C-alpha cells in the first residue's frame, strides 16, 4: 500500500473515529504487508530526502486506522539524534496491561499525522505503562516496559484504536494547566 501525506486519513474524516478490531494471528499476508508498509513509512519519514520525495510527514508512529484499516496494528520507531532507532516496533493487538498513576506530558504538545490544524495544550498521560503485544519484527509476543517519551507515544497510538485523538485529552477551559505533580518531558 502506498502511504503518504495524501493517503493518510485526516481528522475531518469520520473513519478516524472508528474503533479498531483485534487482528487474527498468525498474520495474513495482507496484514503483514500493511504493517511492514506502515513501518517503512515511519522509518523513511525522518529521512529528509526520502520524506520530501515521497510526500511524508515526520512521524514516530502510525496506526492502521490512519490508513483506513480499523485493525489493532501500529508501527513505532523512535530514533536517536544520529537517526539510529532506539525503539523499533511493528505491533499487533497491543494492549496496556498496567500504567502508573503518575502523569507526564510533552512540553511542546503532541502532533499527529491525521491532524493538520493546531491544537495547543498539554496532554497528560501515564508516565509509565506496560504493553503486551505481538511484534512482527521479532515474530513473537513481547512486553514493553515504557516510560517517558516511549510511554507517551504508545498511549497516543493505542488511543487511535478507540477512535481517540490527542487533542481530545486537552482541557478546553485550561489548555495549559500545569499539574505540578506531572513530569514535563522536553
Evaluate whether 107 touches 184 at the Cβ level (below 8 Å).
Answer: yes
Residue-by-residue DSSP string for 108-150: T----TT--S---S---EESEEEEEEEETTTTEEEEEEEEHHH
Domains of the chain: 14-185 (3.90.45.10)
By annotation, the residues acting in catalysis are 157
pLDDT recorded at residue 143: 98
pLDDT at site 170: 97
Question: How far is the CA of 95 from the CAs of 51, 56, 76, in angstroms?
Answer: 30, 28, 14
pLDDT per residue rounded down to tens, the chain (186 residues): 899 999 999 999 999 999 999 999 999 999 999 999 999 999 999 999 999 999 999 999 999 999 999 999 999 999 999 999 999 999 999 999 999 999 999 999 999 999 998 899 999 999 999 999 999 999 999 999 999 999 999 999 999 999 999 999 999 999 999 999 999 999
Distance CA 122, CA 174 (A): 9
Run of H or E including 77: strand 73-79
The pLDDT, as a whole number, for residue 87 is 98
Nearest of 108, 106, 33 to residue 75 by alpha carbon: 33
Amino acid at each position: 500500500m502506498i502511504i503518504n501525506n495524501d493517503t493518510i486519513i485526516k481528522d475531518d474524516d469520520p473513519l478516524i473515529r472508528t474503533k479498531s478490531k483485534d487482528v487474527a494471528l498468525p498474520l495474513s499476508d495482507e496484514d503483514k504487508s500493511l504493517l511492514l508498509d506502515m513501518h517503512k513509512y515511519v522509518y523513511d519519514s525522518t529521512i529528509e530526502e526520502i520524506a520530501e520525495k515521497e510526500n511524508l510527514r515526520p512521524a514516530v508512529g502510525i496506526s492502521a486506522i490512519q490508513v483506513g484499516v480499523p485493525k489493532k496494528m501500529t508501527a513505532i520507531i523512535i530514533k536517536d539524534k544520529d537517526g539510529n532507532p532506539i525503539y523499533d516496533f511493528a505491533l499487533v493487538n497491543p494492549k496496556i496491561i498496567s500504567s502508573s498513576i503518575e502523569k507526564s506530558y510533552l512540553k511542546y504538545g503532541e502532533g499527529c499525522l491525521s491532524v493538520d490544524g493546531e491544537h495547543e495544550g498539554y496532554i497528560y498521560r501515564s508516565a509509565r505503562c506496560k504493553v503486551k503485544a505481538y511484534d512482527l519484527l521479532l515474530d513473537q509476543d513481547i512486553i514493553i516496559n515504557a516510560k517517558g517519551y516511549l510511554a507517551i507515544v504508545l498511549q497516543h497510538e493505542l488511543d487511535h484504536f478507540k477512535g481517540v485523538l490527542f487533542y481530545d485529552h486537552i482541557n478546553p477551559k485550561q489548555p495549559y494547566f500545569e499539574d505540578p505533580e506531572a513530569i514535563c518531558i522536553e
